[in-house]
Amino acid sequence: MATTLAKAARSVEYAARLEHVSKSFATPGGSQLVLDDISLDVAPGEFVTLLGASGCGKSTLLSLVAGLDEPSTGTIRTDGRPALMFQEHALFPWLTAGKNIELALRLRGVPRPERRGRAEELLELVRLQGAYGKRVHELSGGMRQRVAMARALAQESQLLLMDEPFAALDAITRDVLHDELTRIWSETGLSVLFVTHNVREAVRLAQRVVLLSSRPGRVAREWEVGIPQPRRIEDAPVAELSLEITEVLRGEIRRHGKH
Amino acid sequence: MASTDTTTTGAPAAGSVEAGLDALETTRSSRTPWRRTLVDKVLPPLAAIAVVLLVWQGLITLRIVDDPTRLPTPGAVWGAFRHDWLQGRLLGYIWTSVSRGLLGFCLALVIGTPLGLLVARVKFVRAAIGPILSGLQSLPSVAWVPPAVIWLGLDDSMMYTVILLGAVPSIANGLVSGVDQVPPLFLRAGRTLGATGVKGTWHITLPAALPGYVAGMKQGWAFSWRSLMAAEIIANFPDLGTGLGQLLENARTASDMAMVFEAILLILFVGIAIDLLIFSPLERWVLRSRGLLVRG
């Protein structure tokens, strides 16, 4: 528990801070600007969703924050190395569910005798006690994403990045995982930066919704979501705010059809 | 109702839906009963062998082939087996070849694995020897026998050299294609977990490349065995010990067709047996544990 105290004592005022971040990729016809001058703070313990249509560079932005790629200009600071969850579960099929989590612990330097117990705890946190010895292919899509969540949590990072992690799931499973994520977020006090193109999902989960415009991606607008948790995706206030955000998003998309 | 939900009543509700979903979507795998295995897997090849024996005996009984120096009877071949077994020589022949083959194969593994890793990971090495390595796979390793005899003489080291030249390219190429086929997502996931450099190779790349590596090993064994037989037929000296290749060559010089058949059948069966006992189970285990083996 000493590590938790040390982290609290350090008391950084952000979990992630992006300052004037731009990213362009070289293409045959010159360079293409994907992200343009993005400044964004994620406070410790805050849940932020990044929302945008396709082509807004939201996944690129997440890769930059995760440190998998470098911004062309601007700076990104995070409190330690963030954990990252993908749309695909990205679990290693040669390891069992439990060993996938233990690998994350091992790479973080957790000594061997502690790993097994810690992995079981994390599986319990995502309500998969008993799945320790299961192979990845023996688990359902929802269970795989929960193991992936447990593996990401095993990194004990202050910031969890999620790249459309529930997009490939059916509606009922996605609903359940929204509940789980909200519960785990409030239990652990993590900061979450969650990327999605699903407006309702964004409003259901987040404290703050950041809308990105497309080509290049810029911060178009932000909304504070004041609806108290636990929320449900079919709640009237969620639907109302979603409608408002969808209108703005449509406007953003429409701009591209004009020329 | 939803608005009256509190966390205490909401959470178990979500949990029970979740438990139901988990139970519904979990696939159950069960082992096939042995009786099924017997009917599906063991019976068909036995039937095929029976048909071959019948046709063979028929050719002789019906006097379609009427020359024992060209086609011996199944009984005569059986007699050759029996004779060598009773003389206590049969296992000796097999062991001489199998021990050479497996030792050569292990050497090939020791050389081919680091070579494959080097080609897969170092751009310059790949550009330099990658094409030669995959080209060598299509060169029959028998072609190495004459130069190996001239360089090393007719002894064991010549046989091992021929085995290595046959098996190393297969093993190295298997590993290279295994590494090439590692999904980029695994590498990205590994990097976010902190598996970079040597740790990334050890924890992510190598285990992810295992199916390709095992396929390369399987092919490497087949090539080892073929090369060894070619080498044994040519390097035939009494003091080298008699392996199956030498047995075949001795039978030819003695014009003993039953013994020729005995040697050919032994070479075939030993090759199949090693594959069935070592490489196929290894491959099945690797694929099944990853859910890559779909049962029909």
The CATH number that applies at residue B211 is: 1.10.3720.10
Looking at the complex, does the CB of residue A68 fall below 8 Å from at least one CB of chain B? Answer: yes
Domains in chain A (CATH in brackets) are: 2-82+158-257 (3.40.50.300), 89-156 (no CATH)
- What pLDDT sits at residue B296? 40
Beta carbons of B185 and A235 less than 8 Å apart: no
Mean pLDDT of B58-63: 88
Judged by DSSP in three states, A210 sits in: strand
pLDDT of A39: 87
Q: Which residues of B touch A94 (CB under 8 A)?
A: 207-208, 210, 289-290
| CB-nearest partner of B26 from A94, A138, A155 | A138
Ramachandran angles phi, psi of A117, nearest 5°: -60, -40
In a domain, B21, yes or no: no
| Contact B192/A at CB under 8 A | yes
Distance CA A105, CA A112 (A): 9
Q: Is residue B25 part of a domain?
A: no
In a domain, B122, yes or no: yes
Q: Which chain A residue has its CA at the smallest distance from B13's CA? A: A176
- In-domain check, residue B189: yes
Reported as a single tens digit per residue, the pLDDT across A4-19 is 444 444 556 888 888 8
Q: Residue B14 pLDDT > 80, yes or no?
A: no
Residue B4 is assigned to a structural domain of this protein: no
**Residue B147 shares a structural domain with residue B273:** yes
Residue B196, both tokens:
């970079």
The residue type at B274? I
pLDDT-wise least confident of A47-51, A238-242, B26-30: B26-30
List, for residues A107-165, the tens digit of each pLDDT value: 988 899 989 999 998 998 888 888 898 888 888 888 898 899 999 999 888 899 999 88
Structure-block tokens of residue B72: 């011996």
The residue out of B66, B88, B114 marking a domain boundary is B66
Q: Which comes out higher in pLDDT, residue A258 or A236? A: A236
Return d(Cα A110, Cα A151) in angstroms, integer: 14
Residue (of B205, B209, B185) closest to B196 by Cα position: B205
B179 and B221, same domain (yes or no): yes
Interface list for A 178-197 with B (CB within 8 A): 179-180, 183
Of A68, A127, A235, the CB nearest to B18: A127
Identify the domain containing residue B60 by its residue range.
34-66
Q: Is A55 on the interface with B (CB under 8 A)?
A: no
Q: Give the span between the Cα atoms of A127 and B11, in whole angstroms.
A: 11
Averaged pLDDT, B215-226: 91
Report the percentage of chain B scoring pLDDT > 70.
92
Kindly list the residues from chain A whose CB atom is less than 8 angstroms away from the CB atom of residue B186. 90, 92
Q: Is some CB atom of chain A closer than 8 A to the CB atom of B53?
A: no
pLDDT value of residue A1: 40
Q: Quick check: is B296 in a domain?
A: no
Q: Are B53 and B162 in a shared domain? A: no
Q: Are residues B154 and B58 in the same domain?
A: no
Q: Report how many domains make up chain B.
A: 2
Q: Are A133 and A96 in contact (CB under 8 A)?
A: yes
Asked whether the predicted pLDDT for residue B295 surpasses 70, the reply is: no
B112 lies in the same domain as B38 = no
Q: How far apart are CA A247 and CA A79, in angstroms?
A: 35
Decide if B290 and A84 are in contact by the 8 Å CB cutoff: no
pLDDT of residue B186: 92
Residue A12: predicted pLDDT: 65
| pLDDT tens-digit map of B105-160 | 999 999 999 999 999 888 899 889 888 888 888 888 888 888 888 888 888 888 89
pLDDT of A248: 83
pLDDT of residue B277: 92
Spatial distance between the Cα atoms of A207 and A229, rounded to a whole number of angstroms: 10
Q: What is the pLDDT of residue B4?
A: 38
Do B109 and B151 share a structural domain?
Answer: yes
Both B159 and B192 in one domain: the answer is: yes
Give the pLDDT confidence score for residue B10 in this predicted structure: 42
Domain check: are B189 and B105 in the same one?
yes
| pTM score, whole prediction | 0.77
Position B111, amino acid: I
Considering the domain architecture, whether residues B78 and B56 belong to the same structural domain is answered as no
Q: What is the mean pLDDT of chain A?
A: 85
Report DSSP state, residue A18.
Answer: E
End-of-domain residue from the set B45, B66, B87 = B66
For residue A120, the number of C-alpha atoms closer than 13 Å in the C-beta half-sphere is 5
User: What pLDDT score was predicted for residue B238?
Assistant: 72
For residue B40, report the phi and psi dihedrals to the nearest 5 degrees: -80, -35
Residue B164 and residue B54 share a domain:
no
The more confidently predicted of residues A232 and A56 is A232
With beta carbons under 8 A apart, name residues in chain B contacting A233.
Answer: none
Of A94, A140, A141, nearest to B207 by CB-CB distance is A94
3-state class (DSSP) for residue A111? coil
Dihedral of the alpha carbons of A198, A199, A200, A206, in degrees to the nearest 10? 100
**A155 secondary structure, DSSP code:** T
**How far apart are the CA of B22 and the nearest CA of chain A, in angstroms?**
7
Burial bucket for residue B225 (CB in 10 Å: 0-12, 13-18, 19+): buried
- Name the minimum distance, in Å, from the CA of A20 to any CA of chain B: 24
Cβ separation A142–B17 shorter than 8 A? no
Q: Is B287 an interface residue toward A (CB < 8 Å)?
A: no
What's the gap in Å between the CA of B206 and the closest CA on chain A? 11
- Judge whether B77 lies within some domain: yes
Q: Which two tokens stand for residue A84?
A: 């990252």
The structure tokens listed for A231 are 């929320």
Residues of B in contact with A88 (CB under 8 A): 185
| Terminal-to-terminal C-alpha distance of chain A | 58
Q: Mutate one of B4, B7, B18 to test the A interface: name it (highest A CB count within 10 A).
A: B18
Helical ranges in B38-89 per DSSP H:
43-61, 74-86
pLDDT at A68 over 90: no
Residue reference for tokens 């060993």:
A99
Q: Does residue B85 lie within any of the structural domains?
A: yes
Which domain-ending residue is among B24, B50, B66? Answer: B66
Shared domain for B120 and B169, answered yes or no, is: yes
Q: Is B18 within 8 Å of A104 when comparing Cβ atoms? A: no
Query: Are B221 and B233 in contact, with CB atoms under 8 Å apart?
Result: no
pLDDT at residue B278, rounded to an integer: 92
Rounded distance between C-alpha atoms, residue B238 and residue A106, angstroms: 57
Beta-carbon separation of B5 and A66 below 8 A: no
- One domain for residues B41 and B115: no
Within 8 A by CB and 6+ apart from A5, the residues are none
Enter the ipTM: 0.82
Percent of chain A past pLDDT 70, that is, above it, reads: 94
What are the chain B neighbours of A104 within 8 Å (beta carbons)? 193
Most confident of B16-30, B107-121, B187-201, B280-294: B107-121
